[in-house]
Structure 1
Amino acid sequence: MKVGQYLFNKLYKANVKYAFGIPGDFALPLYASLSQSPIIPIVTTHEPSAGFAADAYARLNGLGLAVVTYGAGALNIINPIAQAYAEKSPVIVVSGAPEIKNRNPDLLLHHRVKTFETQIEIFQRITNISVLLQDPHLITEQIDEVIDTVLRTKRPGYIEIPRDLVYKEIPKFRCKHSRRPEKKLEVFSEAMEEIVSRINASRKPVVIAGVEIERFGLGGKFIKLVEKYNFPVATSIIGKAVFPEHHKNFIGTYMGAVGNPAARKLVEESDCLLILGEMITDTNTGLFTSHIKRENLIHASSEHISISHHNFDEIDITDLINYLLNSKKIKKFSFKNSFAQKKAPPVKNGKLTIKAIFRELSSLPDGKYSFITDVGDCLFGCVDLNADIILNPGYYASMGFGVPAAIGAFLALPSRKPISLVGDGGFQMTGVEISTLVKSDIPALIIVVNNGAFSSLEAMDRKRDYFTVHSWDYVKLAESLGAEGIRVNTLKDFKKALELGTQKNKAFLIEAIIERSDISETLERIGNAVHRKFSRKK
């Protein structure tokens, strides 16, 4: 079996059905091998879009793949892969590369930066594992280890393949895989006993459900756990929809002082706060405006468990959820949710607002749509979006995610129509991926929230000329790329456009025009928090 054949067969067996990227001369053998595999290449207009698409695909599918060329291609995908690392999205980047025999340090080969090792050294900083294939006897072990590591840690991996190796035969002799370290039973028992004791001693336990619950496929078990003990549950902005928001135990989105006041009260008054699978970031804590007592905290992630000031590196969130679900030592609590999410009253017809947009989107039925938000008020406004699948770059927060993510989301879950919300600024970065939506027959609905400005920055600062976004004719642009579009500026027209767009079986764009000063309540609170924290020169 040849190297390329082995690589793509292994990835296909790991449930990768699509590869995102752009061919280049160092990747020509790779793409030829890819075309002979069951994996379908999706060629985007730009490598950053390939990275965002692979990221979204990975979040919903469990593993994503990007295939790029050396230098100009691979280094162009750095930002999306950095986001995938930060937000724990399992993407594998495969890059073609110069032949080892041609790596003369005095040879100025095109696409080279500083040295031939510069590229892999960069990827080592933003992946959990990066390998250069060169020893035929190690190739299968290296490929297997990358796939295993990415699946296990839910963070990116990188494989660099010299182009003359793609069609080389793999020797029959193969190295054995190294075994994972076994968990220490005594450490596990000590941690679980302390957690059980703290939960049973508490009167007001609360759980914050994080994005790792979804990443590690723990959603079903987590719901059973919550119902077994009757825990109240909040989520963060990046963890939106990891727990059903219509559930009787859901108390809202927690973002410190800038989030849901009811959720904040319950979370910060808890005497036993379980943060499960959540990253404690500035975004999730409302710019660190949260007031959580460390002595009341149990924090479980994929990397460790901490109980107050005690850290256990040998065990993780999966261990904890499995243990709690099967335990018979913990009492059931009598929590009754007086803060249950109530259906918001309808918004009166008139000028379109960001609040009205999310209100209308929340009225769409579950099970039919994958929602994607870009950065800006599309992100902050989604705090008020009730849906069962929401993808957002809520921690790393790279603009440009919205449109290309619709590609990956649909290919991962073709039974759901992707609905992407993106501001005019974010759209101008990657909006031409509508071309890829059309080419790939993806019936995404793209909602461009056009307020003519970087509104989130203005909320944190003030109106300035350099926050102005130059106006495009987004509808004509969509039409020029083969999609359809409509422009609206009233709620009545938005409702009609939304009904039309959700019924379309091809890419459709709604340009939703709102006032420059119109922002969500969450963004308004964030802006106020920033102004209080930093003194601004006027």
Structure 2
Amino acid sequence: MTGGISVAEYLFRRLREAGSHAVHGVPGDYNLRLLDYVIPSGLEWVGNCNELNAGYAADGYARIKGIGAIVTTFGVGELSAINAIAGAYAEMAPVVHIVGTPNRSDQDNGVKLHHTFCRGQPGDYRIFAEMYEKVTVAQENIVDVATAAAQIDRVLRECLLQSRPVYLQVPMDMVDAIIPGTPLAQVFDLTPAPGDARLEQEVCDAILDRLRTSSKQFILVDAGTPRYGLTSQTHELIKATGFPTATTPFGKGIVDETLPNFHGIHGTVGPHTFTSYVDSCDLVINIGPAHSNVNTYYFVTVPKPEVTISIERDAIHIDGRTWNVSPQGVLQKVLESLQENPLAKPTSYPELPNLHQALQSLPPVDPNAKLTQDTFWYRMSSFFREGDIVLTETGTASNGSRDFVLPQNTALINSGIWLSIGYMLAATQGVALAQRHLTQSDHPLSNGRTILFEGDGSFQMTAQELSTIIRQKLDVIIFIINNNGYTIERLIHGPQESYNDVASWRFLEAPSFFGAEGADSSYPVYTARATTWGELAGVLGRDEMRAGKGLRMVELMMETMDSNDTLRLMLELWKSKKAE
């Protein structure tokens, strides 16, 4: 397009070109005209129940599609969403937050408008933007037609390249402003600046030297790997070297768990214990590290720096030295060298666990016995299939998911840094929509299911988004673990305290309350409750659960203080460290 185009149409067309096919949000009087352009620009509008949930949903969408978007109104709307945007920042999710703001003249004159502090100061209109500077990697305020296109392109580019949220203000009187459409004729350029080939080769040589001179090696994959665009190269490296490999809890689902040299999660307790092995290695390749306390078993599993090659977004650290280089370029050189001159395959490592063997060796359960978390998470692995996206809420579900044994081409979404409970239900709406938007592609997740594991307390945080799932007719399976409150908090402190209680809801009536019409509608709903292993087996064996469409909700009745061994032992470790 070489003629003129409105700011709003340019923005949303660029957003679609960047990869998002949907916009989440809540209407408000400062963004209504902006929203008029969403659908005509080829995007799907998803109106959420509140801005916090919209932010969570956009985050979930972004983790599957590579970019998500939320539109809020100035002040009250954007501040309601800031927790979600902060979480996206902490956990590296590329979300574009678009804020409709008052007219430029009102802002310049400090007019006492609603959603402001009404102090009559022009600076009041920058206060919320200043807050967002702390939780976004790029910010722009569209106030000039001469620079609008470049500003929009800049924030979208930074969002994608840095895999973190960005912030864009659009005043009401700029929405329809006409700007040149010439940039739309050019493909949106996401190519990073070319690296220093000489420096990249130097780092490549240093890595190859460590690969060939080390005698006991280990690869640790963490959550930054897909955020830095390193997933495919990481898989090639794992296969090319044959080195024993594990993920962190936050990195689970990134690595193909059917690979013979994959050994689960690097942990310190339960079935994930092989820290002594890793500590004995003279080379650890740590890709995409995210060293939070919960992701490293309270820092016990952080590799020793003196033996570690640490690969981050813009730097590689080896033997205490840092090279500021693109890891993509370096890893490609390493892989090409290994293809020409392969490493000798390492011998077997019998001391490391084999997840698939452990799953197959589980003893049968008494069908009349009550559900318990000690083996529940292992046994649920048989329900998963290729293409599934599995979400696990912070708490017992997230910790339990460490025991999942995942098929090829599945994805796991959990929280390893922000841990804002309630995130997962709203994120599930975004994930399910993103998965629907993949159906016309050859993406490995395009034909799978969206499956959520959520605690009863967490569900109550963002329960309204079940109505959005229903209204959008999204295909979702939800397992609600009803254990009478905040079990994760009870295990940490106050097992009998009332502040860890939640209201007793009739969860399986929620679909009806939130607008589902029943099993005979175009959007089928199936609900069930399981208290015993036999009841669970009957539910999981139904066609509706294995291959059905619509909403499927299963309430799992479990004891209040029940958890898997990994969580219990990890919390004991944490308490002992606090006492030191």
Does the TM-score normalized on the shorter chain lie above 0.5? yes
**1:360 corresponds to:** 379
Q: 276-285 vs 241-250, which deviates more?
A: 276-285
Which of 232, 237, 252 lines up with 1:240 in the alignment? 252
- Where do 5+ consecutive residues of structure 1 fail to align? none
How big is each residue's C-alpha offset from its partner over 1:81-108, in whole Å with a ceiling of 9 and x where there is no partner? 1111111111111111111111156422
Q: Deviations over 1:467-519 (max 9, x none)?
A: 12221111122331125422221121122223343444211211111001110
- Matched residues, number: 534
What corresponds to 2:317 in structure 1?
306
User: What is the Cα deviation at residue 243 of structure 1?
Assistant: 0.5
Tell me if the contact between 1:48 and 1:79 (Cα under 8 Å) persists in the aligned partners: yes
Counterpart residue number, 1:283: 294
Counterpart residue number, 1:403:
425
CA–CA separation in structure 1 for the residues paired with 2:287 and 2:303: 15
107-116 vs 467-476, which moves further:
107-116
Match of 1:392 in 2: 414
State how 1:157-236 maps to structure 2 within 5 Å. Answer: 157-171=166-180, 182-236=194-248
2:578 partner amino acid: F
Given that residues 228 and 332 in structure 1 are in contact (C-alpha distance below 8 angstroms), is that contact kept between their aligned partners in structure 2?
A: no
SS of aligned partner of 2:179: coil
Amino acid at match of 1:272: L
Following TM superposition, by how much is the alpha carbon of 1:182 offset from its aligned partner in structure 2, in angstroms? 4.6
Q: Which residue of 1 aligns with 2:574?
A: 530
Fraction of identical pairs, as percent: 26
Q: Distance in 2 between matches of 1:430 and 1:47?
A: 11
Aligned: 1:437 with 2:469: yes
- In 2: Cα distance, 1:172 partner to 1:530 partner: 57
CA gap of 1:136–1:335, structure 2 versus 1, over 3 A, is farther
Return the match for 2:125 from 100, 107, 116: 116
Q: Distance in 1 between matches of 2:433 and 2:401?
A: 23
Q: Deviations over 1:228-254 (max 9, x none)?
A: 111111001111111111210101101
- Larger deviation: 346-355 or 41-50? 346-355
Code of the aligned partner of 1:527? L
CA gap of 1:62–1:172, structure 2 versus 1, over 3 A, is closer
Distance 1:365 1:372 in 2: 12
2-structure distance, mates of 1:348, 1:237: 30
Q: TM-score, normalised by structure 2?
A: 0.87
Scaled by the length of structure 1, the TM-score of the pair is 0.94
**Other structure's SS at 2:257 match:** coil
Which amino acid in structure 2 is aligned with residue 490 of structure 1?
A: T
What displacement does 1:217 show? 4.3
1:152 corresponds in structure 2 to 161
Shift in CA distance, 489/172, structure 1 to aligned 2, threshold 3 Å: closer
Query: Kindly tell me: are residues 149 and 332 of structure 1, through their superposed partners in 2, closer, same or farther at Cα, counting changes over 3 Å?
Result: farther
- The Cα offsets for residues 348-397 of structure 1, whole Å up to 9 and x where unpaired, read as 33101224432332002422421011110110000011222111112211
- How far 1:116 sits from its partner (Å)? 0.4
Give yes or no for contact 2:161–2:190 (8 Å, CA) kept in 1. Answer: no
In 2: Cα distance, 1:502 partner to 1:26 partner: 45
Distance change in 2, residues 1:30/1:499 (3 Å): farther
Q: Which of residues 307, 323, 339 is equivalent to 2:333?
A: 323
1:450 alignment partner, one of 444, 461, 482: 482
Deviation digits for residues 108-127 of structure 1 (CA, Å, limit 9, x no counterpart): 21112581001211111111
Q: CA deviation at 1:185?
A: 3.6
- Give the aligned residue type for 1:404: A
CA distance in 2, matches of 1:172, 1:452: 57
Matches within 5 A, 1:366-377: 366-377=385-396
Q: Distance in 1 between matches of 2:137 and 2:302?
A: 32
1:60 and 1:309 map into 2 onto residues whose CA distance is: 35
Partner secondary structure for residue 20 of structure 1: strand
**Residue 103 of structure 1: SS of its match in structure 2?**
helix
Q: Tell me, yes or no, if structure 1 residue 412 matches structure 2 residue 424.
A: no
Cα distance, 1:7 vs. partner? 0.6
Secondary structure of the corresponding residue to residue 278 of structure 1: coil
Q: Is the 1:276–1:317 contact (alpha carbons within 8 Å) kept by the matching residues of 2?
A: no
Cα distance in 1 between the residues matched to 2:143 and 2:287: 41
Decide whether the 8 Å contact of 1:30 with 1:96 is kept in 2: yes
Residues 162 and 250 (structure 1 numbering): CA distance in 2 closer, same or farther, change over 3 Å? same
| CA spacing shift, 1:311–1:103, aligned 2, 3 Å | same
The whole-number CA distance in structure 2 between the counterparts of 1:194 and 1:504 is 52
Give yes or no for contact 1:422–1:446 (8 Å, CA) kept in 2: yes
Cα pair distance change 1:136/1:173, threshold 3 Å: farther
Instruction: Please report how far the alpha carbon of residue 459 of structure 1 lies from its aligned counterpart in structure 2 after TM superposition.
Output: 1.9
Match of 1:254 among 240, 243, 266: 266
| 1:324-369 superposed Cα distances (whole Å, 9 cap, x missing partner) | 2111466233142433222421443310122443233200242242
Contact 2:311 2:327 in 1 (8 A): yes
Mapped partners of 1:238, 1:178: distance in 2:
27
Q: Map Cα deviations across residues 138-178 of structure 1 (whole Å, 9 max, x no partner).
A: 1111111111111111111111100111111004788x999
- The residue aligned with 1:132 is 141
**Counterpart residue identity of residue 488, structure 1:** A
Q: Quick one: which amino acid aligns to residue 299 of structure 2? A: F
Instruction: Please give the alpha-carbon distance, in whole angstroms, between the structure 2 residues aligned to 1:405 and 1:316.
Output: 31
How far apart, in 2, do the equivalents of 1:211 and 1:535 lie?
Answer: 30
Which residue in the other structure is 1:340 paired with?
Answer: 354
After TM superposition, give the deviation of residue 219 of structure 1 in Å: 2.8
- The answer (yes or no) to whether the contact 1:146–1:158 under 8 Å persists in 2 is yes
Deviations 1:217-276 (A, max 9, x none): 433332222111111110011111111112101011013x24644443332221100001
Q: CA RMSD in A?
A: 2.3
Q: Answer whether contact 1:233 1:250 (CA < 8 A) is retained.
A: yes
Provide the rounded CA distance (Å) in 1 between the counterparts of 2:336 and 2:427.
37
Looking at structure 1, the residues matched to 29 and 263 of structure 2 have their Cα atoms a distance apart, in angstroms, of: 53
Question: What does residue 40 of structure 1 align with?
Answer: 44
Would the aligned equivalents of 1:254 and 1:284 in 2 still touch at CA under 8 Å? no
Q: Distance between the aligned counterparts of 1:237 and 1:227, measured in 2?
A: 21
